[in-house]
Amino acid sequence: MNIGKVITPTPGRGLVIAGPCSAETEGQVMQCARDLAKLGQVDLFRSGIWKPRTRPGSFEGVGKEGLQWLKRVKEETGMNTTTEVAKASHVFDCLKAGIDVLWLGARTTVNPFSVQEIADALNGTDIPVLIKNPINPDLGLWQGAVERIYKAGITRIGLIHRGFSYHGETTYRNVPRWQMAIEMKRKFPDLQMFIDNSHICGRRDTLHEVAQEALNLNYDGLMTEVHPRPDEAWSDAAQQITPAVFGEMLKNLRLRKPTASEMEIAPLTELRRQIDEIDNDLIGMIGRRMKLSDSIGEFKAERNIAVLQSDRWEAILVKAAQDGATHGLSSEFMEKYLKAIHQESIDHQDAIVNR
């Protein structure tokens, strides 16, 4: 893919997209824009005009009227603007209003029909497009959205990592699943990647922590929801912050160097060599473990014993969590690791038993 930059980076700092979750009134939009413009670090002013909500009756955006407010933001502050589009008519309205960058939300990315409708509407234009990850952790949907938009002739495409829905207790509104974003970046190394720390966190007190984690992983910048009076926001009030608080967060973020100098890299190279050796040992040990699983499968097949032994599996999980803790490994990691190993072992034994 021949991909260009959605935003040209300013040397020495990360790219910044900020603004209210939704455009509520012209006064609210303009106040937020003026306050953010004073920071001198905002590359794109964001605001939702159409808000896809889970249930009817919630505030679903002001619609086309809000596009004129964004037009005024650009005229008065000089900041470029961006908003979310979910169907073809949104694209046409934004193009007419002179919006600089469009983005596809998580609820849109998850639906190939919607993405294709937007791609068809974009055909023949040259407007940059940002694509959020789908709600559910499906890398194929995210990749497919990029490919559909690219096939429409759009060559300035970026990614927004906004986390994934999760059923259960979690400290996040949407769990990051960092490895999925890293894999997406590996597939599309030329695409800029932004962290939407607002939607990952869902609350104000962890916004800095998640933004810094993304910068540590060499993300290109962040998209954060900023509101002049967050507690009064008509949508997602708990995760929005004031322009002043946002400015302080930017001051405290540390931008990491993407690479090291020759002198710096020598010890890093040695540490990586040691990791490679350990990885090779681990793969060999897992291979030997699977051979033992094959032998267990033969034993069970000869005696018509069920493949899954629930009591044994539960005991393994408990012991591994305890052993992992002594080596500084979290119980969550141990569970994920063992589930992968266990599934491979079951697949091996299943194949033997069903021969």
User: Per-residue confidence at 258, pLDDT binned at 50, 70, 90?
Assistant: low
Sorted by where each starts, the structural domains of the chain and their CATH numbers stand as 15-252 (3.20.20.70), 262-353 (1.20.59.10)
Q: Give the per-residue pLDDT at 259.
A: 62
What is the Cα–Cα distance from 225 to 278, expressed in whole angstroms? 42
What is the Cα–Cα distance from 90 to 100, expressed in whole angstroms? 14
% residues pLDDT > 90 (the chain):
70
Beta bridge partners of 139: none
Q: Give the per-residue pLDDT at 187.
A: 94
What is the Cα–Cα distance from 207 to 250, expressed in whole angstroms? 11
Tell me: pLDDT of 262 over 60.
no
Sign of CA dihedral 218, 221, 227, 233: negative
| Distances in whole angstroms, Cα of residue 76 to Cα of each of 6, 25, 73, 110, 247 | 22, 17, 5, 36, 20
Tell me: pLDDT of 233 over 90.
yes
Summarised one tens digit per residue, pLDDT across range 158-180 is: 999 999 998 888 899 999 999 99
What is the Cα–Cα distance from 136 to 134, expressed in whole angstroms? 5
Higher pLDDT residue, 67 or 55? Answer: 67
Going by C-beta distance under 8 Å and a sequence separation of 6 or more, which residues neighbour residue 180?
A: 133, 137, 139, 164
Summarised one tens digit per residue, pLDDT across range 267-317 is: 777 788 789 889 988 999 999 999 998 999 899 888 888 888 888 888 888
What's the whole-model pTM score? 0.80
User: Per-residue confidence at 265, pLDDT binned at 50, 70, 90?
Assistant: low
Q: Give the per-residue pLDDT at 208.
A: 97
What is the Cα–Cα distance from 18 to 41, expressed in whole angstroms? 10
Sign of CA dihedral 91, 238, 7, 188: negative
Tell me: pLDDT of 321 over 60.
yes
User: Per-residue confidence at 190, pLDDT binned at 50, 70, 90?
Assistant: very high
Q: φ and ψ at 241, to 5 degrees? A: -130, 165
- Amino acid at position 333, single letter: F
Contact between 225 and 240 (Cβ < 8 Å): yes
